[in-house]
Amino acid sequence: MDLSIIIPCMNEADNVPKLAAELMPVAAELARTQTVEVIFIDDGSTDGTLAALNEAFGGGRAPAGVTVRIEKHPVNRGLGAALRTGYAAARGHVIVSTDADGTYKFDTIPALLTHLSSDVDIVTASPYHSQGQVVGVSAYRLFLSQGASALYRLLVDWRIRTWTCLFRAYRREVIERISFESNGYLCGTELMVKAMLSGYKVAEYPTVLHSRVAGASKAKIARTIRAHLGFQWQILLSRLHLKSLVSQEA
């Protein structure tokens, strides 16, 4: 398998038609030159998401050349747990994760993949890049996301502008070697930061972040802020400890 596309779903029944109409043609086009699988993870949905996914993609309804698999959590375990289930099931040499709501347009997946050059291990979508853009996202969510990204730039690497998105491409080695503990919305940031601190190289793909059209966001703002602040504190303490050790050796 060359490419795995991972889509976590929690109460996303309203977005299944969008996945069928907009994601599957992209997967089919990619499958013309490589083997492609799409893995949906139903994370304990209560709105009929699993039934909608099975109706849309089960029983051989996927486009020619595209393998579709649906994983299920009996109860909601969180975005991080859903991603771990998807990553464990993935067989591709390259693994793409993205949102079910299409806030990053599915037809930009091929462009994202072009940034995965021989010296790059992770490509992250970057609406906060000077060539990126944000359309229709509420000001307070944008403020919180940009604020968190600014702190990660200070703590980890100033060159990377966007740290909080899910839309990314990873080389399989990164997924196999770097673990993350968060079950919440910190998960993607935790994975990328730990990968970077382990020496893996990240490139940004300037793109457009759109507002959600169907369904409701599952992010718990206060909980997510606390998680990011706690993780950033851990990074700072680790940096200070390392600096102290270097000073002692000198």
The pLDDT tens digits for 211-238 are 766 555 655 678 888 999 999 999 999 8
Mean pLDDT of 162-182: 97
Per DSSP, helices labelled H in the chain are 16-18, 24-30, 49-57, 79-89, 109-114, 139-155, 172-177, 187-197, 221-249
Question: Is 79 within 8 Å of 187 (Cβ atoms)?
Answer: yes
* Pairing assessment for the beta strands 3-9 and 94-97 based on DSSP bridges: parallel
Report all structural domains of the chain as residue ranges with CATH numbers, in order of start: 3-249 (3.90.550.10)
Distance in angstroms (rounded) separating the CA atoms of residues 151 and 224:
15
Q: Is the pLDDT of residue 207 over 60?
A: yes
pLDDT of residue 180: 96
The model's pTM: 0.91
Q: Tens digit of pLDDT for each residue in 146-160?
A: 999 999 999 999 999
